[in-house]
Amino acid sequence: MKIEQIYTGCLAQGAYYIESNGEVAIIDPLREVSPYIKRAKLDDAKIKYIFETHFHADFVSGHVTLSKLTKAPIIFGPTANPSFDAIVAKDGQVFKLGDITITALHTPGHTMESTTYLLKDNLGKDNAIFSGDTLFLGDVGRPDLAQKADHMTQEQLAGLLFDSLRSKIMPLADDVIVYPAHGAGSACGKNLSKKTVGSIGDQKKTNYALRANMSKAEFIKEVTDGLLPPPQYFPLNVKMNKEGYDDIDDVIQRGSKPLTPKEFEIAANTTDAVILDVRNEKEFIKGHIPRSIFIGIEGGFAPWVGSLIADVKQPILLITPKGREEETIIRLSRVGFDNTLGYLNGSFEAWKKAGLDYDTILSIHSDELKIKIEKEHVPVFDVRKEGEFKSEHIIGALHTPLDYLNNHLHEFPENETFNLHCAGGYRSAIDASILKSRGIHNFVDVTDGFASIKKSGIPVTSYVCPTTL
Residues 73-110: tens digit of each pLDDT? 999 999 999 999 999 999 999 999 999 999 999 999 99
- Which CATH code of 3.40.50.720, 3.40.250.10, 3.10.129.10, 3.40.50.300 fits the domain covering 246-353? 3.40.250.10
- What is the pLDDT, as a whole number, of residue 152? 86
Amino acid, res. 264: F
- What is the average pLDDT value for the chain, to the nearest integer? 95
Residue 17 CA neighbour count, 13 Å, CB half: 21
* Fold match, 246-353 / 363-468: yes
Give the list of residues 6+ apart from residue 282 with CB closer than 8 angstroms, or none: 425, 447
pLDDT digits (tens, 9 = 90+) for 304-330: 999 999 899 999 999 999 999 999 999
Cβ atoms of 58 and 237 closer than 8 Å = yes
162, 219 Cβ separation under 8 angstroms: yes
Neighbour-count burial of 386, counting CB atoms closer than 10 A to its CB (0-12 exposed, 13-18 middle, 19+ buried): middle
Can you give the pLDDT at residue 145?
Answer: 83
Task: Fill in the amino acid letter for 237.
Answer: N
The per-residue pLDDT for 240 is 96
Check: CB of residue 237 under 8 Å from CB of residue 60: yes
- Give the span between the Cα atoms of 287 and 4, in whole angstroms: 42
The residues pairing with 398 across neighbouring beta strands, listed in sequence order, are: 381
What CA–CA distance (Å, rounded) separates 355 from 49? 55
Per-residue pLDDT of the chain (469 residues; tens, 9 = 90+): 999 999 998 899 999 999 999 999 999 999 999 999 999 999 999 999 999 999 999 999 999 999 999 999 999 999 999 999 999 999 999 999 999 999 999 999 999 999 999 999 999 999 999 999 999 999 999 998 875 556 789 999 999 999 999 999 999 999 999 999 999 888 887 778 889 999 999 999 999 999 999 999 999 999 999 888 888 899 999 999 999 999 999 999 999 999 999 999 999 999 999 999 999 999 999 999 999 999 999 988 999 999 999 899 999 999 999 999 999 999 999 999 999 999 999 999 999 999 999 999 999 999 999 999 999 889 999 999 998 999 999 999 999 999 999 899 999 999 999 999 999 999 999 999 999 999 999 999 999 999 999 999 999 999 987 665 5
Residue 199 CA to residue 392 CA, distance in Å, equals 33
Distance CA 234, CA 250 (A): 23
| SS3 of residue 167 by DSSP | helix
Q: What is the DSSP string of 328-379?
A: HHHHHHTTT---EEEEETTHHHHHHHTT---B---EE-HHHHHHHHHHS---
CATH-assigned architecture of domain 2-235: 4-Layer Sandwich (3.60)
Per-residue model confidence (pLDDT) at position 465: 78
Angle subtended at Cα 370 by Cα 366 and Cα 375, rounded to the nearest 5 degrees: 150
Which pLDDT score is estimated for 166? 98
CA-nearest of 33, 5, 236, 23 to 130 is 5
Helix, strand, coil: what percent of the chain each, to 5?
A: 35, 20, 45
Cα–Cα distances in angstroms (integers) from residue 360 to residues 126, 285, 289, 348, 364, in the given order = 58, 5, 9, 13, 13
CATH topology of domain 363-468: Oxidized Rhodanese; domain 1 (3.40.250)
pLDDT at 353: 98
Give dist(CA 336, CA 248) in Å, integer: 10
In this predicted structure, what is the pLDDT of residue 326?
97
Q: How far apart are CA 410 and CA 29, in angstroms?
A: 42
Query: What pLDDT score was predicted for residue 468?
Result: 54
Helix (H, G, I), strand (E, B) or coil at 22: coil
- Euclidean distance between CA atoms 428 and 434, whole angstroms: 10
The pLDDT of residue 79:
96
The rounded distance, in Å, linking the Cα atoms of 133 and 190 is 12
Ordered by start, the domain boundaries in the chain are 2-235, 246-353, 363-468
E-strand stretches of 266-397: 274-277, 293-294, 316-319, 340-344, 363-364, 380-382
Position 186 scores a pLDDT of: 84
What pLDDT score does 146 carry? Answer: 74
